[in-house]
Amino acid sequence: MVSAVNTRMWMQLPAALFAVALFLLGAVAPLPAVNLDHVKGGVWKIWNWTPVKKPGEQKWEVGTAFAIGPRYMATALHVLASHRRRGTPIADLIMKYWHRGYVSSPLRIRRVAAMSAVHDLAIIEIGSDNAYLRLADEPVRSGSRGLTGFGYPEAAGKGLSVLRQIGNGITVDHRVASLIYMAVNMEKLGGASGGPVMNSKGKVVGVQVAAHQADSNLSIAVTVQRLWDLADGKSGVICPASASFDRCYELATEDMRARAGRQDPAAAYGLWQHYFDGDLEGGHADKLHLLKEAAERGHVLAQHNLAARYVMGDVVEKDYRKADLWMERAAKQNYPPSLHQLGKWYQDDGDSRSGPLLRRAAAAGFRQKDQYE
């Protein structure tokens, strides 16, 4: 008997896709557990299959996706957008399941069905049916343990990897950013974006979208509730059947701008991040107001990044007092990198408050090279 947990997701998708999904719901069994054997066929590597054009040029093979229902997968939007920026059409991307020496036949992406620029999520349609993962209805809570991530981080080689939670519990921000911050047993997480985070019951509670920094072991995931919202049409955009990826991406960006204009801190931070990363033209030099708005409304990543701007003098004058202020606010929300960084700053100043902060960051399992020295 297939769980009905994923059923409502298809209600907002085009009618033809919904009809196919209803037919197949009883035909493909969900995957029940949380190890490599039990997610077999459910978590896939996204890569560019087009030939290398120049001598010495390497293929850019980064990204993870996972099946959420018949003919549909979820991934991080930036994985698709980054391939596009390198000149690879979405139609030229393929997916393979790679586990313990076994490599599946490739799957092709037929189109992107929905996307959210605010929460960095995308739902893609594929051309075949696969076992799929169950999505949790109940939100994961701060302090939870026993979570497991899956993905294809480049540092781990070609195959599917397990990202085990370490430390004394995760930090979750449901109110402002809808993000899960989880220390894992691996550093250099590039390539795991788009992979699932699962609880001990074998249900997906989040979608990995980032690492705190290239050499840190802190995985950042969007809560599965935002994936439900995307599928239900409550956030992001459902892509018209005839729309190209570029056109749907424009619609998703317009949606993000509109939400930022309505003082949504996640949208304001996402918009600033798009300018900072170069996804939108104009650079981030005159977009600091977006970062400040998000920070003032409690977005912990915005608070941490605003502190970094002040200490490095990036688009603002260096101001160590303001850097301390914003890093303190982020640390109060138990964001492990902020606990660690503020503790290091206090340690350098001979401040006795450093010890408790560093111990809390270590207890959360956070590891990273020091920064902002």
> Is 257 contained in some domain?
no
Tokens of 349: 């100043």
> Is 372 contained in some domain?
no
Containing structural domain, residue 346: 263-363
End-to-end Cα, the chain, rounded Å: 56
Same domain, 173 and 301: no
Last residue of a domain, one of 232, 252, 272: 252
Same domain, 245 and 285: no
Last residue of a domain, one of 252, 284, 301: 252
pTM, 2 dp:
0.88
Same domain, 296 and 193: no
pLDDT in tens, 96-106: 888 877 888 88
Same domain, 307 and 245: no
The one-letter amino acid code at 283 reads G
Q: Please list, in sequence order, all residues whose beta carbon lies within 8 angstroms of the beta carbon of residue 52, skipping any fewer than 6 positions away.
A: 58, 59
> Is 117 contained in some domain?
yes
Same domain, 129 and 182: yes
Domain CATH code at residue 331: 1.25.40.10
In this prediction, residue 240 carries a pLDDT of: 92
In this prediction, residue 10 carries a pLDDT of: 40
> Is 368 contained in some domain?
no
In this prediction, residue 215 carries a pLDDT of: 80
Same domain, 235 and 272: no
> Is 29 contained in some domain?
yes
> Mean pLDDT over residues 314-324, rounded?
94
Of 116-130, 250-264, 300-314, 336-350, which range is least confident? 116-130
Question: How many domains would you assign to the chain?
Answer: 2
Residue 219 contacts residue 197 (beta carbons within 8 Å): yes
Same domain, 182 and 277: no
> Is 258 contained in some domain?
no
Residue 4 has pLDDT above 70, yes or no: no
pLDDT in tens, 254-294: 999 999 999 999 999 999 999 998 878 777 778 999 999 99
Last residue of a domain, one of 217, 252, 287: 252
Q: Please list, in sequence order, all residues whose beta carbon lies within 8 angstroms of the beta carbon of residue 311, skipping any fewer than 6 positions away.
A: 318, 320, 323, 372
Same domain, 50 and 85: yes
